[in-house]
Amino acid sequence: MKLKGLGFTPLGSETGIFLHKTAVRIMEIDTHVDNGMGICLSEEVELSLKVSIQKFYKIKEKDTSKLLKVLGILVMRDTHRGMLKLSQAKYSDSIFQWF
């Protein structure tokens, strides 16, 4: 696979998640069918990762300033404060209503 060639290894328990670890950083990519999401510690690392991946795949980016829903999880990002918030409030509410 192309991601292995970039130094990523699949997570043992979940083959759709790839990790790249070095002494100073860790990067993670989640893949699902024709979709994926990456997590990096800095914009510089993110840009480098995008350039590497674009050698093999076409990337269509989403506006990360807006709310994003991934596998039923609401992702909210505040780059000014350096915060990332994950929420499953609607899912939790539906479970409570069911019981």
Domain ranges of the chain: 1-61, 62-99
**Using one digit for the tens of pLDDT, what is the confidence trace for 6-33?**
888 888 888 788 888 877 777 788 887 7
pLDDT at 25: 77
4: pLDDT confidence band, cut at 50, 70 and 90? confident
User: Please, what is the end-to-end C-alpha distance for the chain in angstroms?
Assistant: 44
Pairwise CA distance, residues 83 & 91, whole Å: 22
Q: Is the dihedral of CA 14, 71, 83, 92 positive or negative?
A: negative
Please indicate, yes or no, whether the overall pTM of this predicted structure exceeds 0.75. Answer: no
Q: What tens digit of pLDDT does each residue of 26-63 get? A: 778 888 777 777 777 777 777 777 888 888 878 777 66
